Structures are given as C-alpha cells and as structure tokens.
Structure 1
Amino acid sequence: MTRTVSEMNSTRFSFRRLLAVAPLALALAACGGEEGDTAASTSGPIDPIAAPEGTSWTDTVTLSEEGGFVLGNPDAPIKLVEYASHTCGHCGTFSAEGKPPLKQDYISTGVVSLEQREVFLNFIDPVLATLVQCGGPERAHALSDEVWANLGQVMAGVQQNPEAIQATGNLPDDQRLVRIAELAGFIDFFAARGLPADQARMCLSDFDTVKAMVEQAETVAQEDEITGTPTFFVNGKRVDGTVWAAVEPALQNAGARPAE
C-alpha cells in the first residue's frame, strides 16, 4: 500500500504519540511512497579517490549533521541519501539487492557515499533505531542490514506478545522501550550480533536521547517531503524509484562509474 502526501501529513506522529504503544497493526505498516522526478543530467566520469592508508571506504562510517550515518568517503562528490524505516520490507529488499553492488562498485571508489536517515512509521521503529545506533556509528549500517535480513524473525516477537507490549504504555518513560525490546526479543537479537544486553538497556532507557533522535529525524524528513520508505536522493535530487535498478543509473548520471 502506498501512502499519499495528505495521508502522511494527517497521520504525522508527535513524539509522544509515536512512542505511545499504538495498536499492533501499526508495527507492520506498509512502506512505500510517491515517486518523485529526478532531473535528467549526465556528468562525466569522476576519478576514484583513494582512502587514507590502511583504511577502506566501505568500512568508514561517520555521523552527518542531519543525524544520518554516512558509509564511505564523507567528502564524496556524489552523495546518496536513503530515508529508511527498520520495519519496511522494501528497505530490506534494497539492503539485500542494492547494498552489495553499491558498496563493492561505487562506495569503494571514494566517489559515492551512502547516508542512511531514519523514518519512523510506528512505535517499533524508534526501538530498533536506538538499538542500531547503540553500537556506535561504525556498526550502524551492519546492524540495520541484520534487522532487514531477519525482518520476519524481528517482527515475530512483536506479533507474539501483543497484550504485554500494549501494557508497556503504562510504564515510565525510561522503562517503556526497554520492556518492549525485552518482550519482542530485540535484546537477545542484538546481543547475538555483538551488542551487550546491558548496553542495549542503557541506550533504550535514555529517553532524552531517544526523544532528540526522533525529533531530529522527523524534522529532516519533513523538510525533504518524505512520503514513504525507502526514498533516495542523489546530490539533493530525488530518485524516481525505490530499487537498485533505479538508483544505479542516477549515480552514473552524476558521474559515478563501477570500480575496475
């Protein structure tokens, strides 16, 4: 199901509403959105940019001013931005089909970077985003990919404990997200991928930090008129499509070429 601009605006969450435990169906909200137009522009090929000695651009992650996680050369001349939700199946499809060639053929050259920005469709998204970010910038992309690769398992815990998860709405702010993560099996899921349980609980109980993350992400998404996930931009121009087959030509039009 595709959500229109008016529908997105009419259901735009305030922070308190977003973290309130809404009906479980919201946790499985469809992703997708209106496709925009990408200006048809072709640039000549840009020469590769070497990473600092002893490093690789595909292992380099930095935090942007917008709160996104930039994979690759932070000064890359071609900047790909993805707005994504961790409960979005289409985002998972891009993670599986688009990220491997994107990293191997383009990010590795230092010419292209990928900035992942959060979109929150439901009360589960902030929990998953907090856990993804809890491991530090260098692990954010890898943990996001793990969530998308195992989205069925991740969401199964939510579906199996609806009454208990609903009841977390009565807990204090610093306990609510921790309890949701415990009931849904997220603590164990991330622990199996290197994020200690105590560290995960500490991040989830830091309500002020979670609040700031959500509010910044919502502000940035509104400024870019995001109507669904995933949504891509190349150097500020919206990509007409949500799959790798649409993103790659946009990168090449901007001057990117596959690594030799």
Structure 2
Amino acid sequence: MPSSPSRPSSPSSRSSSSSASARKRLLISVAVAVAAVTLGIVSWQATAPEERPDRSSSPSAAAAPKGSDVHAELAKLARREAGDKLAVGRADAPVVLIEYSDFKCGYCGKFARDTEPELVKKYVEDGTLRIEWRNFPIFGADSQSAAKAAWAAGQQDRFAQFHAAAYADGAKEKGFGRERLLELAREAGVPDLERFEKDMAGDAAVAALQKDQEEGYRIGVTSTPSFLVNGQPVAGAQPLGAFEATIARAKAQAKAEPQAADGRAAK
C-alpha cells in the first residue's frame, strides 16, 4: 500500500516549537546578562584598565544576583580539554577555577606569587582542583604581547614556567618588548626560541587570545584578576582563605549533585 503523503506541520505546532525556541534563547540571554552584572562589579583587589569608582560596598554590589541557574551556565565555560596547554590539573577534577588575567596587572601578579602556588599544592595535586587560565589583556600593546608569548611558551609545554617568570616580583616593570619576552622564555626553559617567536607572531596565537577575550567580555569581565569557581564568580586577588572556602563549597556541591541524581533515579 502506498504511503500517505506527509502533511505539513500545523500552524499551532510550528508556533509551539517557535515559542519553545524563543524561551530557550531568552533564558540563555538572561543568564548571561545576570552573569555580566555579577562579574562586572569591581571588588576588592581587582585592577581595571582605567580609574573607576569603588563600588564594592554599593547597594548594587550587595544586591548582585546569585542564581544557581546562572552559576550552572557559567560552569559550562570550563573546557576540561585534556591537552589544554594553559591548564593544570585533572580534566575530570570536581572543581574548576577559571582565571582571567593580564601580565601587566599588579594584583594578578600578587595572586600568582602568593595564592596560586598554595592552591596548586593543596588542591591540584590531590585531584580536587583544575586551573584553566584565560589570557585577558586589558592594558595595551605590552599586555597583548605578553599574552601571546605565554601562549607560545605553552605550545612547548612551558606555560606554567613562563607564567611564573612573567609574574615574578618586579617583572612587569621591565616591560614586555621582544627582547624581554625572549629573556623570559629562556628563563622559563622554552627549548626552541625560534619556534617560540614564530608561534608568538602567528595567527593561531591571535585566534587563541581572541577566544579568551571574547569569552571574558561576553560574561562581563571588566577587571583583572577575575575568576569562576565552578561557575561562582570571584573578583580580585582575594586572600587564600576566601578561595579555600569557595573551593570547599564547590567540591561539596559537586559531590552532592550525583548523589541527588542517584536518589531520584532510585525512586
């Protein structure tokens, strides 16, 4: 028997599908907008590219939205790529800290020297934490050059060493011109300096930098350093204890979510 000709979808079904799609787009837009408000608040020990009034104690800062749906959207920014050259820690770690930073930012350097090594020692080494760096240069040509150099060092598995050298106390005051970047690459132990220069000046470095920047601007990053810990925004080089508390909460929540899912499945 010949099959019946397919009928075009009815206006009501098309309308229903269109409405569902529109609602989904609206929810995503709202989540990103709320994230922008949350991360756009310049808080204690964060450096902006130009002078801005301190809003950390303003009513708008105190009333920043904190919806779990927003944090869930932001948590999806964790790339968890096993071969990520600008990351340290297990790809399946329960907590991911995303760091948006600039090599000319003084507070970024403070975090890199004082806090980050402690987080690596305490949480990365035991598998709890993964740190993913995002180059977010906001202080002009030197910032851009240093970011591309860090990426280029990463292509030879020396990003962490370059990161440490570029954030050493007093390093940023020496600038990030070509000769200085080569000096930092040598200090970081980059084996092939000719390749380093080629990578630094190549299109791939520009594309990687643009990807990080666009991600940060899309969610409202306006100052450095800025962080996401499993989607929870943290602005500024806050004390070690603040990060420890945030990581502990994120770990507990990550552990509770599979248990809650198992409980629902058992019913």
For Structure 1 versus Structure 2, the TM-score category normalised by the shorter chain is: 0.5 to 0.7
CA distance in 1, matches of 2:228, 2:211: 18
The two structures have a TM-score, normalised by structure 2, of: 0.59
For residue 214 of structure 1, the aligned residue among 198, 209, 222 is 209
Q: 2:247 matched to 1:251?
A: yes
Q: Which runs of 5+ in 1 are unaligned?
A: 10-27, 42-60, 159-179
For residue 178 of structure 2, the aligned residue among 181, 185, 189 is 181
Please tell me the residue identity of whatever aligns with 2:148. T
Q: CA deviation at 1:245?
A: 3.1
Residue aligning to 2:187: 192
Q: 2:161 matched to 1:142?
A: yes
Residue aligning to 2:150: 132
Q: CA deviation at 1:39?
A: 4.9
CA distance in 2, matches of 1:240, 1:203: 31
CA distance in 2, matches of 1:127, 1:76: 31
Q: CA deviation at 1:82?
A: 0.9
Q: CA deviation at 1:240?
A: 5.3
Please tell me the residue identity of whatever aligns with 2:210. E
Q: Based on CA coordinates, which of the two structures has the bigger radius of gyration?
A: 2
CA distance in 2, matches of 1:34, 1:78: 29
1:98-113 aligned within 5 A: 98-113=115-130
Q: CA deviation at 1:142?
A: 2.5
CA distance in 1, matches of 2:128, 2:212: 26
**Which 4+ residue blocks in structure 1 deviate beyond 3 angstroms?**
28-41, 61-64
In 2 relative to 1, CA 31–215 (structure 1 residues): closer, same or farther, beyond 3 Å? farther
Q: Which runs of 5+ in 2 are unaligned?
A: 1-35, 41-47, 69-80, 253-267
In 2 relative to 1, CA 239–153 (structure 1 residues): closer, same or farther, beyond 3 Å? closer
In 2 relative to 1, CA 30–98 (structure 1 residues): closer, same or farther, beyond 3 Å? farther
Q: 2:222 matched to 1:204?
A: no
In 2 relative to 1, CA 128–233 (structure 1 residues): closer, same or farther, beyond 3 Å? same
In 2 relative to 1, CA 91–210 (structure 1 residues): closer, same or farther, beyond 3 Å? same
The two structures have a TM-score, normalised by structure 1, of: 0.61
Q: 2:220 matched to 1:225?
A: yes
Residue aligning to 2:237: 242
1:82 is paired with a residue whose SS is strand
Number of aligned residue pairs: give it: 185
Residue aligning to 1:80: 97
